[in-house]
Chains A and B, each alone.
Chain A
Amino acid sequence: MNTVVCLKQVPDTETLIKINAEGTGIVTEGVKWVMSPYDEFAVEEALRQKEKAGAGSVTLVSLGPDRVIEAIRTALAMGADTAVHVNDPAFAAKADPYATATVLAAAIKDATYDAIFCGKQAMDDDAGQVASILGELLGLPVVTMVTKLEVSADKKTATVTREVEGGQAIIDVPLPAVLTAQKGLNEPRYASLPGIMKAKKKPVTVKTAADLGVSVEPMTIIKSMTLPPARQAGKKIEGDDSDAKAVALAKALHEEAKLI
């Protein structure tokens, strides 16, 4: 089974986020970058489908600056075969989900594949649009929030379980299709050391948007970005006994927090 996995490198969830001087994005220096965790599920699923089929290849596609190669190598170490790195900082800097999907579609369009895997959303901007736009641009069906995937023997169709509020839906979809990975789809593997060593030698094709013939302008622009307000310090309710504390608490909830 041949698959394509779209990867995004995002700041580690624990890393310190600062807003840049223009207030339109984050400071990218001093940030620990990792593969977006939902994309890890996507890579793992692609690998498992390939292993199950006993043949095929997993191709990675990612847009971003030089540092993105680290996320690509991580996925290659897990077992992916090849990668296309759209290394175009100028394009990437202003790319919105539409522009991103356009350039990914251009990188993918000539490949042979039975399915395209994406994370259900990127862990940083949470937009969750790229997979759907990609499906549209490539004329493929899209199934989001996949928690289970069974591919038919002829690789022409798949039975997909997706998460819906309070339950699950089972969907038949013709392949190729775009599938987005939700937590629960699998447990991503930890790259073995031989995998890490092999990954260093696996082919990564580097392209720019222009190489791919893409010159779209973003359809949306980030106007401003702010951090959530710093959490207020807690307040200790004082009082001589539990009755007095209860009165003080009720007063604080009513007058200060205005909750009751």
Chain B
Amino acid sequence: MHGSGITREIFWNVKGEGFPVVEPLTYILALTAILFLVRGLIKAGLLDRIKMMMLATGSDVSRFDNIVERLKYALIDVFGHKKILREPYQGIAHLFIFWGFIVLFAGAGLDFLQVDIIEPIFHKHFMQGGLYLGYSIITDLAGILVLIGVIMMLLRRYRNMPKWLDNKPEDMIILWLILAIVITGFLVEGLRMQATELQPGDPMHKYAWASFGGLIFALPFTAMSVGALKATHLFVWWVHLFIVLGFFVYIAYSKLLHIFMTPINIFMRNTTANPAPIKAMPPSMFENAETFGIHKLEEYSWKDLFDTEACMRCGRCVAVCPAFNTDKPLLPRDVIQNLRTHLEAKSKFAIDKDGKARILPDEEYTGPALIGGAIEKDTIWSCTTCMACVEACPAYISQFPKLIDLRRYLAMMESDFPEEVQVVFKGMENNSNPWSIGAHSRADWAKELNVPLMSQKGSAEYLFYVGCAGAFDDLNKKVAVALAKIFNAAGLDYAILGTEEGCCGDSAKKIGNEYVFQTLATTNIGVFDGYNVKKIITMCPHGYNTIKYDYKELGGNYEVYHYTEILDELIKSGKLTLKTPIEGLGTMAYHDSCYLGRYNKVYDQPRNILGALNSGTLVEMASNHEKSFCCGAGGGRMWMEENLGTRINQKRTKEAIDAGVKTICTACPFCYTMLTDGIKELEKGESMQAVDIAQLVAKAAGLE
């Protein structure tokens, strides 16, 4: 016994007189495990996969700028579980295991420090007294947290498994390994305590409570003799050691690798303003490139391929995917996992016997193709680009933009897209709108409304960029009219472009036709800059997002606002007063548009406006804010038939019905159209309505 006497002997019973070499042996075993881990990583192909990443030719955003900020963010996110805790159940379970293991690992480190560094060199024993008691309490607590966490996970995976999880043997092996580590650990502690401090007269007896975990696990052994306890303890100690080392080696062969890869991926997260950047295509590409988009793995960026390392198949992206939730063949997790499988398969061809990687000539590769092999065309076209996957991913993987790269190849190289899209492209090319309505009628909605034209006014503080829906779609023209009336009433200095306005090109871009997108975008930028436009108000979140981020890549720099931001401000500043109560709104809910919410974090302004109406009762649907459920029209899906699975707009409308909503409020023309259709299709026209927020504001301001 040392000093205060509050301590325990490290390697008690294990380093007996009969077995003095146990310490070196333990360390040799631990080193062997590390060697096996490294060997495992190589055998499981990590080096080959890295070589493939280094072959990748695709462009990417910067991943190593602002290193300090990146490191800070990664540390906070990893240790604070910021994103993981968005799903409380899984988040807490993971948090318990994560922090439990860190504490236990640190505890083992302290033991090592004591017994093999401090004691032999400085002849000091610091693991005693209060420190030892604290150590005992904290490590036992950690063990119990891991136990709770792993049981929560086991229950979730094998009792109440959500349909979007895909259980594989590794999931079960990992959870049982963790469970075995904690249980054998506690058994070792319990057996030791029963043989020592729980024996009557032991000086540590009164401090046994500090090892409360061990205390519980000692209970079954109260009747055992000290000799039998020591024998059992020795056996379980070795079992525990080997399971721990086995777990360590298993990292190389399983999704446990995410312990290293996911934090690295978080460090390398996208920090550009655009939350879901799609590969930039400089206009010069259209002069000299020979191929566009991606149809071969190596055409992705190295980071696209690294994403496949960081995925631990948690399936959060699947859980929120509108395509998956309406039985379409798109599971964002599987896109990433299939890419990983494809990467492994292709590395077999691309890396020769000497371990050298090279870009494979097409004729030398006989494995499955990327498009149609690793990723099906129906998968590629099912995406609504709603960004729910990117937003949900705790590993900061960029899922859906990888599909847009494939769409680009199909659309621009092969003209291979759903056939109904051709007329949309032609409409954009010939009349600068996807509805294919004569471009000369773009400003017809504004007739007799006193809407100032930029060509007459010369300049204005704000350009009101109406967009195709407000200009050509009968339902959404009403929204444009409402906005014009509001802007006029509030005395806003604004103007529209009239027939000089063109399609923003969002649908073309997201369908993969970057060529048509850039043609439309550069035309618009020319017109905007011709009038020296600085600030733009858009009616449509798609135009908003596109002008804000995508036009920037083409040299168009503007301050872009969605109309809800402007209306919120006008109401707050008192320039717009909403005095007229609106009858019959009943229970209303705001449907977050993907491009306004997840893409641009405009969550509050639309809700503020609805609150300022003083009419109806505002509630939330089950999916809202970051987890809002897409209407089904993004990513050019507005223009495609929805032939697979059930209809996304109906799924969303049913959510409104379930929330007892009478009035669904939108701030996006696509959402407005889709939810209006959803209500009609579900025959709820008598009891429900969809309405755009601008129309409500116009009404409440007495402008109708």
Q: A12-B430, A14-B430, A32-B431 are in contact. Are A192 and B415 (CB under 8 A)?
A: yes
Instruction: Kindly state whether residue B629 has any CB partner on chain A within 8 Å.
Output: no
B414: nearest residue on chain A (CB-CB)? A192
Instruction: Pick from A14, A32, A187, A197: contact of B286, CB below 8 A.
Output: A197
Instruction: Pick from A16, A30, A187: contact of B419, CB below 8 A.
Output: A187
**A14 and B415 within 8 A (CB):** no
Within 8 A of B (CB), among A222-244: none
Residues from chain A with Cβ under 8 Å of B465 in the complex? none
Q: A190-B422, A193-B515 are in contact. Are A12 and B440 (CB under 8 A)?
A: no
Instruction: Kindly state whether residue B412 has any CB partner on chain A within 8 Å.
Output: yes
**B412 and A192 within 8 A (CB):** yes
**A14 and B431 within 8 A (CB):** yes
**B286 and A193 within 8 A (CB):** yes
Residues from chain B with Cβ under 8 Å of A32 in the complex? 430-431, 439
State the total of A-B contacts with C-beta under 8 angstroms.
43
**A190 and B413 within 8 A (CB):** no
Bound complex: CA A14 to CA B428 (Å): 12
Bound complex: CA A112 to CA B412 (Å): 33
Tell me if A's interface is mostly helix, strand, loop or mixed.
loop
Instruction: Kindly state whether residue B437 has any CB partner on chain A within 8 Å.
Output: yes
CB distance from B173 to the nearest CB of A (A): 48
Instruction: Pick from A14, A189, A192: contact of B413, CB below 8 A.
Output: A192
Instruction: Kindly state whether residue B549 has any CB partner on chain A within 8 Å.
Output: no
Instruction: Kindly state whether residue A213 has any CB partner on chain B within 8 Å.
Output: no
**B430 and A34 within 8 A (CB):** yes
Residues from chain B with Cβ under 8 Å of A15 in the complex? 431, 438-440
Q: B314-326 toward A: CB 8 Å interface, digit per residue (1/0)?
A: 0000000000000
Q: What is the size category of the interface that chain A forms with chain B? A: 10 to 19
Q: B34-53 toward A: CB 8 Å interface, digit per residue (1/0)?
A: 00000000000000000000
**B425 and A190 within 8 A (CB):** yes
Tell me if B's interface is mostly helix, strand, loop or mixed.
helix
Bound complex: CA A190 to CA B426 (Å): 9
Q: B414-456 toward A: CB 8 Å interface, digit per residue (1/0)?
A: 1101010010011000110000111111000000000000000
**A14 and B438 within 8 A (CB):** yes
Bound complex: CA A34 to CA B423 (Å): 13
Instruction: Kindly state whether residue B363 has any CB partner on chain A within 8 Å.
Output: no
Q: A30, A32, A187 — which one has the most chain B CB atoms within 10 A of its CB? A: A32
Bound complex: CA A197 to CA B413 (Å): 11
Residues from chain B with Cβ under 8 Å of A30 in the complex? 440
Q: B600-624 toward A: CB 8 Å interface, digit per residue (1/0)?
A: 0000000000000000000000000
Instruction: Kindly state whether residue A206 has any CB partner on chain B within 8 Å.
Output: no
A191: nearest residue on chain B (CB-CB)? B415
Q: A15, A32, A190 — which one has the most chain B CB atoms within 10 A of its CB? A: A190
CB distance from B276 to the nearest CB of A (A): 24
B432: nearest residue on chain A (CB-CB)? A32
Residues from chain A with Cβ under 8 Å of B292 in the complex? 193
CB distance from A113 to the nearest CB of B (A): 26
Instruction: Kindly state whether residue B683 has any CB partner on chain A within 8 Å.
Output: no
Instruction: Kindly state whether residue B202 has any CB partner on chain A within 8 Å.
Output: no
Instruction: Kindly state whether residue B69 has any CB partner on chain A within 8 Å.
Output: no
Bound complex: CA A14 to CA B439 (Å): 8
Bound complex: CA A107 to CA B590 (Å): 64
Instruction: Kindly state whether residue A54 has any CB partner on chain B within 8 Å.
Output: no
The 8 closest A-B pairs by CB, nearest first: A14-B438, A16-B440, A193-B412, A190-B415, A192-B415, A190-B422, A12-B430, A193-B515
A16-B441, A194-B291 provided; 16 other pairs, C-beta below 8 A? A12-B431, A12-B438, A14-B436, A14-B438, A15-B431, A15-B438, A15-B439, A30-B440, A32-B430, A34-B430, A187-B419, A190-B422, A192-B414, A192-B415, A193-B292, A193-B515
Binding site for B on A (CB under 8 A): 12, 14-16, 30, 32, 34, 187, 189-194, 196-197
